[in-house]
Amino acid sequence: MRQMEAPENITRFPSDEGQLIVRILINCGLRLKDARMLPYDCVVRDEHGGPYLAWVNYKMRGRIAFFPIGEHLADAIDEQRRRTARRFPDGSRWLFPRSQTNIDGAKPATDSWFRKQLEAWLEQIELVHNDHLTRVTAHQFRHTVATRLINANVPQHVVQQLLDHMSPQMTAVYARLLDKTVREHWERATKVNAEGQAVEIDPEHPLASAKWMRLSMVRAKITLPNGYCGAPVQTDCEYANSCLDCRFCLNSSDFLDQHRRQRDETRPWCTTTRARDCVGWWRKILEP
């Protein structure tokens, strides 16, 4: 996703229309059919001026749904509306009219048109995953949006409404996938406690699942800038930050950058404090 979202790569998409569809897929998680068949007037604003993408869920028999978007995406959609208006002065009902055999603008862009451009774009930017060239489908962007929302602690019922899922069970799939992925990452990582001793969760241990649920609960309970709080969820703590010498504090390599920044920020203070102590010591020695 970082490769595809990079501005220098996005701008290499074969067409402006296709580039905008990619941005809509990345930001809003629409199905390709719903994105290519967006209505011409698909941006609405609330009473505070906030923009929303108004889209039609054709899988749900044409139900209207809304997704909040940023001003940059709203501006890009306005530019596409102007392009469409220049092509069809008499108007078109579609934001993305078909590029060929579409004299009056009555036909929307096709799946094959976008998929060919997507394939050409992925080949051009040389999309890599695990050191190998790879491909993605348009629908995978929808999975990514759902996973990112869950990962950002957006409640499942809100994610369900944003993506207009038919049932809570569809949204719950992403929550279970995220939990499984995070757990596997945690089990592979090397964790250390305040004494620098390795802390591992044996996947085969009878309490492995229970331990993971407990860790998930305490990680949700308190967010630390440079570690995990491993205290039981029932434990009260008067400190609302990371206590690096606390027996409950756990760390992994995920926090190395934060610890290095903290070390670099602390070094000047230590140097200044030592200099002040040294000056005070010499003053005592030299006093008559």
| pLDDT reported for residue 185 | 54
| pLDDT reported for residue 257 | 77
User: What kind and span of H or E run contains 259?
Assistant: helix 256-286
* Cα–Cα separations (whole angstroms), residue 225 to 13, 102, 126, 186: 38, 56, 35, 17
HEC secondary structure over 68-137: ECCHHHHHHHHHHHHHHHHHCCCCCCECCECCCCCCCCCCECCHHHHHHHHHHHHHHHCCEECCEECCCC
Give Cα 123 to chain centroid, integer Å.
Answer: 24
CA-to-CA distance for 205 and 217, rounded, in angstroms? 19
CB proximity list for 95: less than 8 A, separation 6 or greater: 38, 39, 40, 42, 77, 80, 81, 84
**pLDDT < 70: residue spans in the chain:** 166-167, 170-171, 173-254, 273-288
* Cα–Cα separations (whole angstroms), residue 136 to 5, 78, 128: 13, 28, 11
Question: How many degrees, rounded to 5, is the angle at CA 126 between CA 123 and CA 132?
Answer: 115
| pLDDT reported for residue 155 | 77
Angle formed by the axes of helices 16-28 and 138-151, nearest 10°: 30
Cα radius of gyration rounded to whole Å, the chain: 27
CB proximity list for 31: less than 8 A, separation 6 or greater: 58, 59, 138, 139, 142
Structure tokens at 6: 């990079």
Q: Are 28 and 145 in contact (CB under 8 A)?
A: yes
| Burial bucket for residue 250 (CB in 10 Å: 0-12, 13-18, 19+) | buried
Residue 97 backbone phi and psi in degrees, to 5: -70, 155
User: What kind and span of H or E run contains 234?
Assistant: none
Task: Please report, to the nearest 10 degrees, the dihedral formed by the alpha carbons of residues 244, 250, 256, 258 taken in order.
Answer: -50
Q: Would you identify the CATH topology of the domain 2-136?
A: hpI Integrase; Chain A (1.10.443)
* Residues of each domain in the chain carrying CATH 1.10.443.10: 2-136
Q: Are 135 and 111 in contact (CB under 8 A)?
A: no
| pLDDT reported for residue 39 | 95
| pLDDT reported for residue 220 | 47
Angle formed by the axes of helices 168-188 and 138-151, nearest 10°: 70
CA-to-CA distance for 152 and 216, rounded, in angstroms? 14
